[in-house]
Chain A
Amino acid sequence: MNRHLLSAGDLDAAGATQILDSAEQMDAIQNRQVKKLPALRGRTVVNLFFEDSTRTRSSFEIAGKWLSADVINVSAKGSSVSKGESLRDTALTVAAMGVDAVVVRHPSSGAARRITEWVDCHVINAGDGTHEHPTQALLDAFSLRRRLGELAGRHIVIVGDLTHSRVARSNVLLLTRLGAQVTLVAPPTLMPAGVHSWNCTTSWDLDATLAGKVAGDVDAVMMLRVQRERMGRGSAGGDDPSRAAVGYFPTEREYAIGYGLSPARLDLLPEHAPVLHPGPMNRGLEISSMAADSDRSLVLDQVRAGVAVRMAVLYHLLAGADEASDGLRATEAVSS
């Protein structure tokens, strides 16, 4: 296992499978009365969040605590970041307190990788801008694997605001590494630049893709959130948040008609195909309530899987011997 988890592409098929297998064991702890494992006793994990987050931050916190690590949350609001401290200074300050791992969420792509150049501890990317979100891809793969069995040969369709999605990129990397086939569907304005170099097929036609006419029968569909907060404020939209997406699609209603998972589209899917959404959901925009609340929806399974998968990631990164930092501790011991 690598020292850091920055990209889903860092994991080979064996490494990813090992994390998913460990997560299966970690998941069983949720059914116990005593939800505590001693594996990370004495280790400290800092959640360094420069962006709002509910499920990622809290699931990393729960994952760390259930493994007996000490978990500290630092968010941009209410910290020195709001006083103008730079990312580097904040990272160095946290690392100087002797933490073992930093879990980073940042609005800028590449922030987590940059931090690895400054600090000695493990760094886990919990979402960097529009780039990557590897633990989300792992929990999606975990939920899919539970529902579908092995992912090799499966066909997963990812739909929505791909331009601003870190989840899409991480999922394409991880799912294809596990042997699945991925098709991305979005309107041309929300298709990421350079998507032709990704290991997947693309389409602008959701109905044809779900019906299996573009890249074969579909085994699962993942709806992504329209990220209004990353779309800027178009001049026509002014400060009205409901019109913030101006420039990417004409109206929300038109987006929902073209790319929302309506009950009719749900019926296009084969019986066995589940529906995923990383949350938070815009009901009525990218996903209808009928789809979100159906028994084919894995949305809550994904949240539950988030804790188990993050426990597995923390365990594999932190529990074992760490040559680099042990070497460092040895020199510290000599100098003191």
Chain B
Amino acid sequence: MPAQPFFEVSDHPPRTPGAKTVLQADDIARVLDRIAHQILEKTQGGAGVALLGIPTRGEPLAQRLADRIASFAGVQVGLGSLDITLYRDDLRTQASRPLGRTVEPAGGVDGKLVILVDDVLFSGRTVRAALDALTDLGRPRAVQLAVLVDRGHRELPIRADYVGKNLPTSAEEQVRVRLAEIDGADEVSIV
């Protein structure tokens, strides 16, 4: 198998005029610090936890949370990624998409407390697809959800257990998350 970097690094996209920055790099760092502490608090020290990042930007977020949990509590939680492309409910409405990576955490997901990690929670359809995908991987003890931004407008009965920032938006606005591992810099903005 060809050696691939864990994350693809693209050129910095040009800043869109009219974009409003909501979280800057140090804000994102503090938000992730807090979520890592919350995970430790809610899971009694992170025992049996596996973080599953949803590609693309959930992957580096899960990695960062795992690093923080390791440095705060000295616990190595499971880390993996879960591609949901094949489980989307809108596969047929668009041209076929490239697949992301699914990497099972060491020890699998059976009996674990799986925490799905994504950048933006919007309609909830991605999370629904992720729950289906997770079922095919195994049977976790419980599933929780951590997101960097919750922008509202849910179309399914889904809520997050850990939220970085609640961001009231109109449906027409776009929330753009940039992360250093992929985009060269950390920033959350409304376009």
Q: Are B92 and A320 in contact (CB under 8 A)?
A: yes
Q: Are A319 and B99 in contact (CB under 8 A)?
A: no
Q: Are B86 and A37 in contact (CB under 8 A)?
A: yes
Q: Are B99 and A149 in contact (CB under 8 A)?
A: no
Q: Are B86 and A315 in contact (CB under 8 A)?
A: yes
Does residue A146 face the partner (Cβ distance < 8 Å to B)?
Answer: yes
Closest A residue to B88 by CB, please name it: A39
Closest A residue to B1 by CB, please name it: A146
- Of the candidates A22, A38, A145, A317, the one having the most CB atoms from chain B within 10 angstroms of its own CB is A38
Does residue A316 face the partner (Cβ distance < 8 Å to B)?
Answer: yes
Q: Are B97 and A320 in contact (CB under 8 A)?
A: yes
Interface string of A26-62 (1 = CB under 8 A from B): 1010001110111100000000000000000000000
Residues of chain B lying within 8 A (CB to CB) of residue A28? 102
Shortest beta-carbon distance, A145 to chain B, in Å?
Answer: 6
Does residue B106 face the partner (Cβ distance < 8 Å to A)?
Answer: no
Q: Are A25 and B91 in contact (CB under 8 A)?
A: no
Tell me which of A22, A33, A36 contacts B99 (CB under 8 A): A22
Does residue B122 face the partner (Cβ distance < 8 Å to A)?
Answer: no
Interface string of B89-105 (1 = CB under 8 A from A): 00111111111111000
When chains A and B are docked, how far (Å) is the Cα of A193 from the Cα of B102? 46
Residues of chain B lying within 8 A (CB to CB) of residue A321? 92-95
Does residue B150 face the partner (Cβ distance < 8 Å to A)?
Answer: no
Residues of chain A lying within 8 A (CB to CB) of residue B100? 25
Does residue A1 face the partner (Cβ distance < 8 Å to B)?
Answer: yes
Q: Are B1 and A39 in contact (CB under 8 A)?
A: no
When chains A and B are docked, how far (Å) is the Cα of A151 from the Cα of B132? 36
Residues of chain A lying within 8 A (CB to CB) of residue B136? 32, 34, 36-37
Q: Are B91 and A39 in contact (CB under 8 A)?
A: yes
Residues of chain A lying within 8 A (CB to CB) of residue B87? 37-39
Closest B residue to A38 by CB, please name it: B87
Does residue B168 face the partner (Cβ distance < 8 Å to A)?
Answer: no
* A25-B94 in contact given A36-B136, A37-B136, A146-B1 (Cβ < 8 Å): no
Does residue B3 face the partner (Cβ distance < 8 Å to A)?
Answer: yes
The size of the chain A interface, using a CB distance under 8 A, is 26
Shortest beta-carbon distance, B107 to chain A, in Å?
Answer: 14
Q: Are B102 and A25 in contact (CB under 8 A)?
A: yes
Q: Are A319 and B101 in contact (CB under 8 A)?
A: no
Residues of chain B lying within 8 A (CB to CB) of residue A25? 83, 99-102
Does residue B18 face the partner (Cβ distance < 8 Å to A)?
Answer: no
Does residue A293 face the partner (Cβ distance < 8 Å to B)?
Answer: no
Does residue B185 face the partner (Cβ distance < 8 Å to A)?
Answer: no
Closest B residue to A318 by CB, please name it: B96
Residues of chain A lying within 8 A (CB to CB) of residue B98? 18, 21-22
When chains A and B are docked, how far (Å) is the Cα of A28 from the Cα of B136? 12
When chains A and B are docked, how far (Å) is the Cα of A320 from the Cα of B2? 27
Q: Are B86 and A39 in contact (CB under 8 A)?
A: yes
Does residue A150 face the partner (Cβ distance < 8 Å to B)?
Answer: yes
Q: Are B92 and A38 in contact (CB under 8 A)?
A: no
Residues of chain B lying within 8 A (CB to CB) of residue A38? 86-87, 132
Residues of chain A lying within 8 A (CB to CB) of residue B2? 145-146, 149-150
Does residue A10 face the partner (Cβ distance < 8 Å to B)?
Answer: no
Closest B residue to A39 by CB, please name it: B86
CB contacts under 8 Å to A, within B118-159, are 132, 136-138
Does residue A207 face the partner (Cβ distance < 8 Å to B)?
Answer: no
Q: Are B92 and A24 in contact (CB under 8 A)?
A: no
Residues of chain B lying within 8 A (CB to CB) of residue A39? 85-87, 91
Shortest beta-carbon distance, A105 to chain B, in Å?
Answer: 24
Q: Are A1 and B96 in contact (CB under 8 A)?
A: yes
When chains A and B are docked, how far (Å) is the Cα of A22 from the Cα of B102? 11
Shortest beta-carbon distance, B100 to chain A, in Å?
Answer: 8
Closest A residue to B129 by CB, please name it: A38
Q: Are B99 and A320 in contact (CB under 8 A)?
A: no
Tell me which of A24, A36, A146, A320 contacts B95 (CB under 8 A): A320
17 more CB-based (< 8 A) A-B contacts, given A25-B83, A39-B87, A149-B2: A1-B95, A1-B96, A21-B98, A22-B98, A25-B101, A26-B99, A32-B136, A32-B137, A34-B136, A38-B86, A146-B1, A146-B2, A149-B3, A315-B96, A316-B96, A317-B96, A321-B92
Interface residues of chain A, those whose CB is within 8 Å of chain B, are 1, 18, 21-22, 24-26, 28, 32-34, 36-39, 67, 145-146, 149-150, 315-317, 319-321
Subset of 27 A-B contacts with CB under 8 Å? A1-B96, A18-B98, A21-B98, A25-B83, A25-B101, A25-B102, A28-B102, A33-B138, A36-B136, A37-B86, A37-B136, A38-B87, A38-B132, A39-B85, A39-B86, A145-B1, A146-B2, A149-B3, A315-B99, A316-B96, A319-B86, A319-B91, A319-B96, A320-B94, A320-B96, A321-B93, A321-B95
